[in-house]
Amino acid sequence: MPSEFKPAHIIIVDDDADVRATLKAALSPEGFHVSEAQNGRELLAAMAAAVPDLITLDLNLGGEDGLKLAREIRARWNVPIIMVTGKSDAIDRVVGLELGADDYITKPFHLREVLARIRAVLRRYEHGREPASTLTENGERFEFEGWVLDIMRRELRAPSGEVCQLTTAEYELLAILVLRPGRVLSRDSIMDLMKGHEWAPLDRTIDGLVARLRRKLEPESERPRLIKTVRNVGYVFGIEVRKVKSQSGP
């Protein structure tokens, strides 16, 4: 975890050695610990030894499916992913965001933009790691249509009892909506709440986060009931939420 004592660890995944060297040369003087991987095998080996704080992932790795690699990372680790794509790869960007990537950078890129996006994503993840008491009282749990959101554990359980895997950003968005049922929130308001009133060029991710949450909460519904769109305004959690007794134990 990034802190004032330990620099954030970033792994740059790109099959182009020049790109890796350029990014490392730009990020290292800014206080980041930077590692490199030229393919998925090297990345997974590095992550098995130590999970980084963020990954920049080129989706066009030679001979590899970057989207498949992103899916594998997201299934095993809750680590921020910034995709690197070409200008013509709009479909890949959309699919990558749906898989759980946190942002994307388009080649050719400006190093200042890369640095800004990395810092913004890291801030958002750090904000998501704040103690539960900063959101609400410790131990509170909320139930809606059989789903249970546990604030202390930062955990969502399906009506079946199984844990639903959420990225940090997905959890933050769901907690914001569940704690404000019936209240219409604009995209700007959601971004303020998610990122501690610290703006960054990531506001386009809200619609993608909502789409991903809907697929997890109501995968077969063509007309979502839980997270509703309010046209030209934003989103609202549209059903009753009930506070339930906290569980004891780990």
When the pLDDT of each residue in the chain is averaged and rounded to a whole number, the result is: 81
pLDDT bucket at 219, cuts 50 / 70 / 90: confident
Name the residue with higher pLDDT: 249 or 88: 88
The pLDDT of residue 198 is 42
- How far is the C-alpha of 9 from the C-alpha of 6, rounded, in Å? 9
Domains in the chain, CATH or no CATH each: 9-128 (3.40.50.2300), 133-244 (1.10.10.10)
pLDDT bucket at 171, cuts 50 / 70 / 90: confident
pLDDT digits (tens, 9 = 90+) for 49-70: 889 999 999 988 877 888 888 8
Strands 163-164 vs 147-150: parallel, antiparallel or unpaired: unpaired
Helical spans, DSSP H, in the chain: 17-27, 40-49, 66-76, 90-99, 111-128, 168-178, 187-194, 205-217
pLDDT digits (tens, 9 = 90+) for 173-217: 899 999 999 888 887 778 777 754 344 444 456 788 888 899 999
The pLDDT of residue 91 is 65
Whether pTM > 0.85 for this model: the answer is no
Residue 138 has pLDDT above 50, yes or no: no
pLDDT digits (tens, 9 = 90+) for 75-122: 788 788 998 887 666 666 677 666 667 788 888 888 998 998 898 888
The pLDDT of residue 2 is 43
Residue 142 has pLDDT above 60, yes or no: yes
Question: Average pLDDT for residues 149-164, to the nearest whole number?
Answer: 89
The pLDDT of residue 133 is 35
Structure tokens at 92: 């890949």
45: buried, middle or exposed (CB in 10 Å: 19+, 13-18, 0-12)? exposed
pLDDT bucket at 154, cuts 50 / 70 / 90: confident
